[in-house]
């Protein structure tokens, strides 16, 4: 933590600025302000950065780039929106191609006012960002020390924003693995996820029909069950599944990268299985190169029974296992 306090590394991205805020940002590096003497380094590699500093309003083209850079920064990370354009869209707000400020795409922690933002204000914003970063570090450390108190609970609609944010963080490693960020989990919207909580999604209703399990009763049974793994009030993992006939389909078992390899994924798998006590078979799917998922599922007793191309880079691997009686003490989720 001392290393970060004394030398935060920053990555700067111009979302579509008029260049005013960029020039002021670069001025921070010149001999007059010389933030490098304080240890602040401007890096070009998001994987090395702690702070994501964005100038300019967000347009159609910069949205994907902002998301891509943001997801590559290691956790915890802080986003600083520099200038009124990055904060709200500024004078470009009503333009046909502008979607708004940076927070229309990713969460922003610190807003630096001004048009253009003055170097002193930018440095002040970075100092505030370091404070936020320290707080996030403390919070994650406290969670890591309390993993033995993880609660596995049913999630509801109010958890959707936190689960969606976690999903996008968790799937970043998959997107990098396949060099393909077209994974549906990376692009799901809050509206879509909220709809999944409230009703049987069309894609699953169609699946029920193709399986010959038509009728309102079966569609109702196909509602998605969402689980969450919670530590100190924060969701660090999630899984979902639905039952059709005698099979429970398990999907999107996600764990925050910071808390992986600590047994959370294994418990999530067990708990989501326990949520379907009446089925005879479980089915899961993962990408063909996702060794960690394949290992975890194999360890849970799953066997591969089918593969199917999904994108030019990704093949789905389908795994199944027969359900076994659930010990009374682990049955059900709180
Ligand atoms: S805030 Fe002002 S100076 Fe900065 S990018 Fe927008 S218009 Fe340019």
Task: Say what the pLDDT of residue 173 is.
Answer: 81
The confidence band for 38, taking pLDDT boundaries of 50, 70 and 90, is: confident
In the predicted model, is pLDDT for residue 316 greater than 70?
yes
Q: Distance from the CA of 100 to the center of ligand 1, in angstroms?
A: 13
In the predicted model, is pLDDT for residue 78 greater than 50?
yes
Q: Distance from the CA of 275 to the center of ligand 1, in angstroms?
A: 52
In the predicted model, is pLDDT for residue 283 greater than 90?
yes
Q: How far is CA 163 from the centre of its chain?
A: 8
Q: Distance from the CA of 17 to the center of ligand 1, in angstroms?
A: 6
- Give 94-110 pLDDT, tens digit per residue: 899 898 999 988 889 99
- Among 22, 55, 58, 59, the mutation site with the greatest number of ligand 1 atoms within 8 A of its Cβ is 55
The confidence band for 323, taking pLDDT boundaries of 50, 70 and 90, is: confident
Q: Distance from the CA of 92 to the center of ligand 1, in angstroms?
A: 9
Which atom of ligand 1 sits closest to the CA of residue 116? 3
Q: Distance from the CA of 121 to the center of ligand 1, in angstroms?
A: 14
Task: Say what the pLDDT of residue 333 is.
Answer: 43
Distance in angstroms (rounded) separating the CA atoms of residues 25 and 173:
30
Question: Taken in order 273, 277, 281, 283, is the CA torsion positive or negative?
Answer: negative
Percentage of the chain modeled with pLDDT above 90 = 52
In the predicted model, is pLDDT for residue 216 greater than 80?
no
Nearest CA owner, ligand 1 atom 2: 115
Write the burial class of residue 37 (CB in 10 Å: 0-12 exposed, 13-18 middle, 19+ buried): exposed
The confidence band for 198, taking pLDDT boundaries of 50, 70 and 90, is: confident
Do the beta carbons of residue 315 and residue 309 sit within 8 Å?
A: yes
Which atom of ligand 1 sits closest to the CA of residue 84? 1
Q: What's the average model confidence in pLDDT over 261-285?
A: 92
Distance in angstroms (rounded) separating the CA atoms of residues 200 and 282:
19
Do the beta carbons of residue 228 and residue 114 sit within 8 Å?
A: no
Region at 301 (left for phi over 0; alpha for psi -120 to 50; beta for the rest): left
Q: Look at the chain and count its residues.
A: 334
Task: Say what the pLDDT of residue 5 is.
Answer: 60
Task: Say what the pLDDT of residue 329 is.
Answer: 44
Task: Say what the pLDDT of residue 299 is.
Answer: 92
Pocket of ligand 1 (CB under 6 A): 17-18, 20-21, 55-56, 83-85, 90-91, 115-116
- Give 132-172 pLDDT, tens digit per residue: 999 999 988 898 899 889 999 999 999 999 999 899 888 88
Task: Say what the pLDDT of residue 330 is.
Answer: 43
Do the beta carbons of residue 183 and residue 254 sit within 8 Å?
A: no
Task: Say what the pLDDT of residue 331 is.
Answer: 44
Kindly report the pTM of this predicted structure: 0.72
- Give 40-73 pLDDT, tens digit per residue: 888 899 999 999 999 999 998 999 899 889 988 9
Q: Distance from the CA of 82 to the center of ligand 1, in angstroms?
A: 9
Distance in angstroms (rounded) separating the CA atoms of residues 273 and 267:
10
């Amino acid at each position: 933590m001392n290393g970060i306090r004394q030398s935060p590394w920053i990555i700067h991205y111009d979302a579509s600025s008029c260049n005013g805020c960029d020039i002021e940002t670069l001025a921070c590096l010149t001999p007059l302000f010389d933030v490098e003497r304080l240890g602040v380094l401007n890096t070009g590699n998001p994987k090395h950065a702690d702070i994501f500093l964005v100038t300019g309003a967000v347009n159609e083209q910069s949205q994907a780039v902002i998301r891509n850079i943001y997801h590559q920064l290691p956790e915890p990370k802080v986003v600083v929106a520099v200038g009124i354009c990055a904060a709200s869209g500024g004078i470009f707000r009503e333009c046909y191609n502008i979607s708004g400020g940076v927070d229309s795409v990713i969460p922003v922690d610190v807003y630096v006012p001004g048009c253009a933002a003055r170097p002193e204000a930018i440095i002040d914003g970075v100092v505030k960002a370091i404070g936020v970063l320290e707080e996030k570090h403390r919070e994650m450390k406290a969670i890591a020390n309390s993993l033995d108190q993880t609660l596995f609970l049913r999630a509801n609609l109010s958890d959707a924003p936190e689960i969606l944010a976690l999903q996008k963080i968790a799937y970043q490693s998959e997107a990098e693995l396949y060099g393909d960020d077209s994974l549906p989990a990376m692009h799901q919207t809050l509206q879509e996820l909220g709809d999944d909580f409230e009703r049987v999604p069309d894609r699953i209703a169609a699946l029920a029909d193709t399986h010959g399990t038509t009728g309102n009763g079966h569609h109702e049974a196909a509602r998605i069950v969402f689980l969450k793994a919670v530590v100190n009030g924060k969701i660090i993992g999630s899984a979902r599944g639905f039952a059709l006939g005698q099979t429970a389909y398990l999907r999107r078992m996600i764990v925050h990268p910071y808390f992986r390899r600590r047994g959370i994924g294994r418990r999530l798998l067990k708990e989501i299985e326990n949520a379907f006590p009446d089925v005879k078979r479980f089915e899961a799917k993962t990408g063909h190169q996702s060794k960690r998922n394949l290992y975890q599922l194999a360890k849970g007793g799953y066997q591969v029974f089918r593969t199917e191309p999904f994108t030019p880079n990704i093949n789905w691997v389908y795994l199944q296992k027969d359900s076994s009686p659930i010990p009374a003490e682990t049955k059900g989720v709180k």
